[in-house]
Amino acid sequence: MPPINNIVILTGAGVSAESGIDTFRDGGGLWEQHRVEDVATPEAFARDPNLVLRFYDMRREAIQTKAPNAAHDALARLDAAWQGELLIVTQNVDDLHERAGAKRLIHMHGEHLNAWCTGCDTRMPWTGPLLDRPACPACGVAGLLRPDIVWFGEMPYRMEDIYHILNRADLFVSIGTSGAVYPAAGFVREARASGARTLELNMEPSQGSHWFDEARHGPAGVLVPAWVD
Ligand code: BV8
């Protein structure tokens, strides 16, 4: 078995489930009778901005009441201790990886604590509601702020950096994701093509389970510490 130096870890909503943050596609995965695919799009924002802003205001408020769980803590320990290359790529917009202490982290779908001014293109930390159309602190114009979150049909962040490390990975671990959303769902194939070993840690087989060398099923709060420690 060749040595493992470079690790890429992909996380999805399942890693935050035991912190009390709803996943997207479990148990209905609905919000007020809307699927995330129907709300998290530029078209939905253009069609009904209040619906979309309310969706994100409620999620931002909910996330701030949650805490990292044993899976986030174990990944932060690994990040601190691992001497080789390591990158956690999260699809999640919550900040639980950061609050657990993870440093080598990319939010490919953006972050719920950031806003983006569609007027002056400034991105900024944002913890308050957006529904009341606050003025952008940078350009002063009201009503142009949106969540700095990657919606369907929009390009995820830092894809070049992600593929650069993915193509050097010796080990790719996917944690708590259904493998329903691209390009994240394709990372396991990229990793395999580069010769990496692949491991899936998830409550149940994901849509891409058959691409993994090994899959362990159960709660991330149990599987991830067992794998890390
Ligand atoms: C892009 C931000 C191109 C919003 C999100 C047809 C085929 C292939 C692709 C496409 C296609 N049609 C359209 C596309 C592209 C599209 C896509 O993939 N659509 C899907 C629906 C088919 N993708 C895009 O649009 C992406 N952009 O392709 O751009 C481009 C190119 C050039 C120029 C411009 C553009 C952008 C996708 C990003 C969308 N934004 N999030 C928000 O968060 O509010 S996606 C959303 O889904 C979240 O980020 C979420 O993280 C992500 C994936 O979901 P999961 O994290 O996996 O969550 P899910 O609920 O699905 O699963 C949870 C899993 O955890 C389950 O398996 C469950 O069993 C497990 N679990 C539960 N509890 C636990 C657990 N596991 C362990 N322990 C537990 N306790």
CB 39 less than 6 A from any atom of ligand 1: no
pLDDT at 193: 96
Q: What strands lie across the sheet with 7-11, from one edge to the other? A: 105-107, 86-90, 7-11, 171-175, 197-202, 214-217
Cα(125)–Cα(12) distance, rounded to whole angstroms? 22
CB 147 less than 6 A from any atom of ligand 1: no
- What is the b/e burial string over 113-133, where b = at least 16 CB atoms within 10 angstroms of the residue's CB? bbbbbeeeebeeebeeebbee
CB 90 less than 6 A from any atom of ligand 1: no
Low-confidence ranges of the chain (pLDDT < 70): 27-32
pLDDT at 32: 67
Query: What's the 124 CA to ligand 1 centre distance in angstroms?
Result: 24
pLDDT tens column, 202-212: 999 999 999 99
Among residues 14, 16, 18, 38, which one has the least CA distance to residue 26? 14
Residue 120 in marked binding region: yes
pLDDT at 29: 62
Query: What's the 121 CA to ligand 1 centre distance in angstroms?
Result: 25
Q: What is the ipTM of this complex?
A: 0.95
CB 91 less than 6 A from any atom of ligand 1: yes
pLDDT at 31: 65
pLDDT tens column, 101-150: 999 999 999 999 999 999 999 999 999 999 999 999 999 999 999 999 99
The residues, ordered by sequence, that sit 6+ positions from 3 with a Cβ below 8 Å of its Cβ are: 170
**What are the structural domains of the chain?**
1-21+68-109+156-229 (3.40.50.1220), 22-65+112-149 (3.30.1600.10)
Residue 91 in marked binding region: yes
Residue 48 in marked binding region: no
